[in-house]
Structure 1
Amino acid sequence: MAINSALFSSNKEDWETPQAMFDQLDAKYHFGFDLAASDSNHKCDRYFTEQDDALSQDWATIKGPLFLNPPYGRNLRQWIEKACKTASETNLTIVLLIPARTDTSYWHDFIFGKASIEFLRGRLKFEQNGVPGNSAPFPSAIVIYNKPVEVTDDEQ
């Protein structure tokens, strides 16, 4: 029995965040910046493209909260490490949509005990040019650094 190598590949890194999911997150966090986008798929008015090289930018100077659906390729660890360090140094809220690969070192080094985690039920259908593709071959999670405290009606 052959294993489909596409299930484990990082060949395609430009899948878009499902719009409905982003809209739900944005209603909650009111994002000011999309840290990894393109001119055609950005979710915020202000964003970095691949040409801007977001990993070399100073995220601490950006008005937040910040949204990040990073490329899921070999540099994913660098994106998560930068989000973790920026959030810890600045108190910025940074919300990530990433694969829930909880066995990886970057989950242990930069997420567990440092961020709030919301595991998503089912598999996401990422989009390409606004059109949903097949279900992702991996589970996903929302990782929130410096999650704002929600005030309930009873506390107001």
Structure 2
Amino acid sequence: MSINKGLFTSTTDLWETPQDFFDVLHSEFNFETDVCALPENAKCETYYSPDDNGLNQEWRGTCWMNPPYGRKIGEWVKKAYESSLNGATVVCLLPARTDTAWWHDYCMKGEVRLVRGRLKFGGSKWNAPFPNAVVIFGERAKVDTLKAM
């Protein structure tokens, strides 16, 4: 049995959101802004491209975020969380990296929906080599808090 080494490496940290997956969430949240997109894969009419640098923008309303999955992902998740403190709702498609500091520092403060199976990102031949989660920050998040007994 041979293993395709291409499944475990990537030449990019940009993973285009599958349209059908986005459509289900869009019907629930009615997104206004895609805070991290390329012109050819933006999911909303209003979007921030790398030239706009979404990290330097003010996020308002209901936002969709599928950030680059590289070393700066923690900065994007922090921005999503902090934007929610200022009134935005930010719905994030993220790799489910539950062992990372950014996951514990921010994602655990939002609503976490684990994605069953592996997504096939736009333009990809294969399913992602990692599990995903949708993390929701803001008033529309349903967060259950555990209370000490």
Moved over 3 A (4+): 2-6
TM normalised by structure 2 equals 0.86
TM normalised by structure 1 equals 0.83
Give the distance between the partners of 1:116 and 1:15, measured in 2 at CA.
22
> How far does residue 86 in structure 1 lie from its aligned partner after superposition?
1.2
User: As a proportion of its length, which structure holds more helix?
Assistant: 1
Give the distance between the partners of 2:7 and 2:75, measured in 1 at CA.
23
Residue 75 of structure 2 corresponds to 78
**What secondary structure sits across from 1:127 in the alignment?**
coil
Residue 50 of structure 1 corresponds to 50
Of 105, 111, 121 in structure 1, the residue corresponding to residue 101 of structure 2 is 105
Residue 125 of structure 1 corresponds to 120
What is the count of residue pairs matched by the alignment? 141
Residue 141 of structure 1 corresponds to 133
The one-letter code matched in structure 2 to 1:133 is K
Uncovered stretches (5+) of structure 1, i.e. residues with no partner: 151-156
**What secondary structure sits across from 1:42 in the alignment?**
coil
Give the distance between the partners of 2:125 and 2:20, measured in 1 at CA.
14
Q: Report the CA distance shift for 1:139/1:149 in structure 2 as closer, same or farther (over 3 A).
A: closer
Uncovered stretches (5+) of structure 2, i.e. residues with no partner: 143-149
Identity %: 40
Q: Report the CA distance shift for 1:3/1:20 in structure 2 as closer, same or farther (over 3 A).
A: closer
Give the distance between the partners of 1:11 and 1:39, measured in 2 at CA.
20
**RMSD after superposition:** 2.1
